[in-house]
């Protein structure tokens, strides 16, 4: 075994030793969840002073199958009731089919009634293997994993459940039926650690323009039933932490003495193994080291060719043509009076001799 092979094997072993194997959940046929959502628009200023909107949604998302190309076929349906402060009321029951990729979570064919996004990812499932500090996308928002052991109060069950807590903060320019506004928002989403499916989320947006007109908009969603079991959380609070990749255990419990002892013992063993491997690599490399040139070989440049001919910047002029002008003497014919060459013997007009 040469040094290169030895280093590769050691690197693989070291990776397996340090990084635990975490596999992503793959959606199954029959996975489903139902949800309840409330949206509100209010706190208006300027032209929106005193205006408000309120809507409730009851929806269901079902995974119906996995296609030959690997995409997941899904079905959505929901009912809604919308009203505003002017007395307008709307209701509806949209539904439809769509597909998405379980690899990058992008919508492939259709969507569950999502509009206004550019190449979005689904909003209801994430890669549950992403570590704390890692990022992923919901629709067009980049989310950061804040905790993988967070206690979330689920209103539909009246208890706290263990979830993955993520957060995204961003801004955009709103230009729609509401008007032209600069919008900033915070999106907090909570997912089941074992499957990556949604458990709930809260979305808060603030819209303003240069004239002082603005409003706030919020969405709050939580599941009411799931095909995936939710694990109860032992924590008694749902205090949230400031999003930061450096947070390693927000919302969790403090490690006890046994955990610290195990960590120290594992770290000591790891150090010993690394030292032994380094010694072996050094000894092996001393026996098999080969000398190499100090600089890589370079081909000598070819010898210079003959110098170029003299360069004349002014263009060459073609030789001038010489024009010869010949004079011819004319005389009158003594018979017809026509002008004829003095050297002619007969008149070309009447044919009489010149003399």
Tell whether 118 and 32 lie within a shared domain: yes
Q: Answer for the pair 237, 229: CB distance below 8 angstroms, yes or no.
A: no
Tell whether 349 and 204 lie within a shared domain: no
112 domain residue, yes or no? yes
Residues in the chain: 355
CA separation for the pair 15, 260 (Å, rounded): 22
Tell whether 228 and 332 lie within a shared domain: no
Tell whether 241 and 331 lie within a shared domain: no
Tell whether 245 and 110 lie within a shared domain: yes
Q: Answer for the pair 113, 94: CB distance below 8 angstroms, yes or no.
A: yes
Tell whether 90 and 200 lie within a shared domain: yes
Q: 232: which strand partners? A: 161
Last residue of a domain, one of 218, 250, 282: 250
Cα torsion 32, 198, 37, 201 to 10°: value is: 180
Q: Residue 243: phi, psi to the nearest 5?
A: -60, 125
Which residue, 183, 179, 189, is CA-closest to 170? 183
9 domain residue, yes or no? no
* b/e per residue 288-319 (b: at least 16 CB within 10 A): eeeeeeeeeeeeeeeeeeeeeeeeeeeeeeee
Per-residue pLDDT, 281: 55
Tell whether 147 and 239 lie within a shared domain: yes
Last residue of a domain, one of 188, 215, 250: 250
Tell whether 242 and 332 lie within a shared domain: no
- Looking at the 3D structure of the chain, how many domains does it have? 2
Per-residue pLDDT, 131: 97
288 domain residue, yes or no? no
Tell whether 69 and 179 lie within a shared domain: yes
Per-residue pLDDT of the chain (355 residues; tens, 9 = 90+): 555 555 455 555 554 444 445 578 999 999 999 999 999 999 999 999 999 999 999 999 999 999 999 999 999 999 999 999 999 999 999 999 999 999 999 999 999 999 889 999 999 999 999 999 999 999 999 999 999 999 999 999 999 999 999 999 999 999 999 999 999 999 999 999 999 999 999 999 999 999 999 999 999 999 999 999 999 987 654 444 444 333 333 333 333 333 344 455 566 667 766 666 665 555 544 443 333 233 333 334 444 445 444 444 444 445 555 555 555 667 777 777 777 777 777 787 787 776 6
Q: Which two tokens stand for residue 199?
A: 């458990």
Domain that holds residue 340: 325-355
Per-residue pLDDT, 323: 54
Tell whether 346 and 238 lie within a shared domain: no
6 domain residue, yes or no? no
Tell whether 93 and 198 lie within a shared domain: yes
Per-residue pLDDT, 290: 34
22 domain residue, yes or no? no
Per-residue pLDDT, 326: 56
Model pTM score: 0.63
Tell whether 215 and 353 lie within a shared domain: no
260 domain residue, yes or no? no
Per-residue pLDDT, 279: 58
Last residue of a domain, one of 233, 250, 267: 250
Q: Which two tokens stand for residue 315?
A: 């263009």
CATH number reported for the structural domain that contains residue 162 in this entry: 2.30.230
Tell me whether residue 50 is exposed, middle or buried, using C-beta atoms within 10 angstroms of its C-beta: 0 to 12, 13 to 18, 19 or more: exposed
Per-residue pLDDT, 351: 77
49 domain residue, yes or no? yes
Per-residue pLDDT, 151: 97
297 domain residue, yes or no? no
């Amino acid at each position: 075994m040469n040094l290169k092979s030895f280093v590769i094997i050691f690197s693989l072993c070291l990776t397996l030793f340090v990084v635990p194997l975490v596999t992503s959940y793959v959606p199954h046929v029959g996975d489903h969840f139902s949800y309840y959502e409330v949206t509100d628009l209010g706190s208006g200023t300027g032209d929106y002073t005193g205006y408000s909107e309120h809507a409730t949604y009851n929806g269901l998302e079902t995974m119906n199958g996995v296609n030959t190309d690997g995409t997941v076929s899904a079905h959505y349906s929901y009912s809604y009731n919308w009203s505003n402060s002017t007395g307008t009321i709307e209701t509806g029951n949209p539904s439809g089919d769509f597909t998405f990729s379980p690899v990058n979570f992008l919508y492939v064919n259709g969507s569950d009634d999502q509009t206004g996004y550019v190449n979005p990812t689904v909003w209801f499932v994430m890669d549950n293997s992403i570590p704390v500090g890692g990022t992923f996308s919901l629709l067009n928002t980049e989310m950061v994993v804040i905790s993988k052991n967070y206690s979330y109060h689920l209103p539909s069950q009246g208890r706290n459940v263990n979830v993955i807590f993520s957060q995204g903060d961003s801004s955009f320019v709103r230009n729609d039926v509401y008007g032209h506004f600069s919008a900033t928002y915070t999106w907090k989403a909570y997912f089941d650690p074992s499957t990556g499916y949604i458990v709930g989320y809260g979305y808060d947006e603030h819209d303003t323009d240069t004239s002082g007109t603005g409003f706030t908009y919020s969405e709050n969603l939580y599941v009411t039933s799931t095909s995936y079991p939710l694990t109860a959380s032992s924590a008694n609070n749902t205090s949230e932490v400031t999003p930061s990749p450096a947070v390693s255990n927000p919302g969790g419990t403090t490690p006890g003495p046994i955990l610290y002892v195990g960590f120290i013992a594992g770290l000591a063993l790891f150090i010993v193994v690394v030292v032994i491997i380094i010694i072996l690599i050094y000894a092996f490399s001393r026996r098999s080291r080969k000398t190499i040139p100090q600089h890589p070989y370079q081909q000598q440049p070819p010898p210079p060719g003959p110098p170029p001919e003299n360069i004349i910047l002014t263009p060459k002029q073609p030789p001038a043509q010489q024009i010869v002008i010949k004079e011819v003497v004319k005389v009158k014919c003594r018979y017809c009076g026509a002008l004829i060459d003095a050297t002619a013997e007969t008149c070309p007009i009447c044919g009489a001799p010149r003399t």
